[in-house]
A and B are shown apart, each in its own frame.
Chain A
Amino acid sequence: MSTGFSTLELIVAAILVVASAGLSLALKLGIHRSMLISAARMVVQLLIVGLLLRSIFAMTNPWITAGLVALMILAASYEVSARQQRKLAGAWNFIVSGAAVSASTLFVSLFALTSVAMTQDWTAPQVAIPIAGIVLGTSMNAASVGLTALMDGLVADRDAIEARLALGHSKRQAVQKLMQRAAHTGTINVINQMAGAGIITLPGIMSGQVLAGQDPLIAAQSQIFLMLLLGAVSTASIVIAITLALGRLTDERHRLRLDHLQGAVG
Chain B
Amino acid sequence: MAKLLKAQALQWNHIGPWSFRVEAGHCLGITGPSGVGKSVLLRILADLLPHQGEAEVDGVACSAMPAPTWRRTVRYCAAASGWWADTVAEHYTDIGAAKLNAGQISLTPDLFDKNPAQLSTGERQRMALLRSLENDPGFLLLDEPTSALDATTTAEVEALIAGKMRNGMGVVLVSHDGGQLERLSSSILEMRK
Q: A interface vs B, CB < 8 Å?
A: 157-170, 177, 251, 253-257, 266
Contact = CB atoms under 8 A, between A and B. Distances in A.
Contacts of A165: 48, 67-68, 71
Nearest to A259: B50
B80 interface: yes
Given A253-B67, A255-B67, A166 B84 contact: no
B50 A251 contact: yes
Given A166-B75, A166-B132, A168-B69, 16 more contacts: A160-B82, A160-B84, A162-B48, A163-B78, A163-B83, A164-B82, A164-B84, A165-B68, A167-B71, A167-B72, A168-B68, A168-B71, A168-B75, A169-B68, A251-B50, A254-B68
Nearest to A253: B67
B77 A166 contact: yes
B81 A159 contact: yes
A162 B78 CA distance: 9
Given A253-B47, A253-B67, A255-B47, A166 B80 contact: no
A160 B83 contact: yes
A168 B138 CA distance: 13
Contacts of A169: 68
Interface in B61-120: 66-69, 71-72, 75-78, 80-84
11 contacts: A157-B82, A159-B81, A160-B82, A160-B84, A162-B48, A163-B78, A165-B68, A168-B71, A169-B68, A253-B50, A254-B66
Contacts of B75: 166-168
A163 B82 contact: yes
B128 A163 contact: yes
Contacts of A256: 48
A64 to B, nearest CB: 48
B68 A177 contact: no
A30 to B, nearest CB: 35
B116 to A, nearest CB: 9
B50 A255 contact: yes
B176 interface: no
A115 to B, nearest CB: 43
B89 to A, nearest CB: 15
B49 A255 contact: yes
A162 B131 CA distance: 13
B68 A159 contact: no
Given A159-B81, A166-B78, A254 B132 contact: no
Contacts of A166: 46, 48, 71, 75-78, 132
Contacts of B71: 165-168
A163 B50 contact: no
A247 B81 CA distance: 25
A160 B80 CA distance: 9
Contacts of B131: 163, 167
Contact of A167 (B40, B80, B132): B132
Which 4 pairs show the lowest CB-CB distances between chains A and B? Answer: A159-B82, A163-B82, A160-B82, A168-B72
A118 to B, nearest CB: 49
A247 to B, nearest CB: 16
